[in-house]
Amino acid sequence: MSASYIIEALVKNIRIPEYNPVFGIVEVQAVHVHAHKNIVMDHVDPSKWSPLIYNFRHYFGLGEVLGKTFRAET
């Protein structure tokens, strides 16, 4: 399996919540995005990659629009 994109990131903080120490919350800062040319137009085309993303008031995942926020115009 090959990745369509890779995000280089710096770990800024790791927190283990007291209420559930089984998992950690990792805060990162993206420093560079590498994307395959097949998913890039003028921007990364969210319909061609599978993670759930929030893209300017719209939610995308698995290629189709899943919803939008109340502030979305279209």
Number of domains in the chain: 1
- Whether 9 maps to a domain, the answer reads yes
Distance, CA of 73 to CA of 53 (rounded, Å): 18
- Whether 18 maps to a domain, the answer reads yes
Please tell me what DSSP assigns to residue 55: -
Positive or negative, the CA dihedral 68, 69, 70, 74 is negative
- Whether 74 maps to a domain, the answer reads no
Residue 13's domain spans which residues?
5-68
pTM (2 d.p.): 0.44
What are the average pLDDT values for consecutive 10-residue runs of the chain, which has 74 residues? 73 93 90 80 66 67 69 75
For the record, the structure tokens of 56 come out as 């300017």
Q: Which pLDDT score, from 0 to 100, does residue 1 have? A: 38
- Whether 73 maps to a domain, the answer reads no
